[in-house]
Amino acid sequence: MAFRINFLALNQPIKGDVLPMEGNPVATYSTSTSATAPVGTQYVTISHDGAIEVQVDGLDGVSDAYQNKKFGMVGAGTLNIPNVSEGAVITVTEA
């Protein structure tokens, strides 16, 4: 399974309740199964070629009830995760 974690910052303001997933990279992408978000990160995208599970520890501005949950993707695609800030740990595993 191959995947890439892209660390991004917004390049345009949020309009209403929609988060525009069109950002600028703040660091080189990671292919490590556990990566720490660098300074300037506001969200991440994870592109993958197979089934994955993703857990993010340390989402910014999110209540404790929603922290450290696993996201699951069945097939290939891209997962966008907002509210990721510096120091958040993103863990990607094969599902």
- The 10s digit of each residue's pLDDT in 5-30 is 999 998 766 666 666 556 889 999 99
CB 34 within 8 A of CB 40: no
Q: Any idea which of 20-29, 55-64, 67-76 has the lowest mean pLDDT?
A: 20-29
Q: Facing residues of 10 across strands?
A: 23
The pTM (predicted TM-score) of the whole model is 0.85
Cα-only R_g, the chain: 13
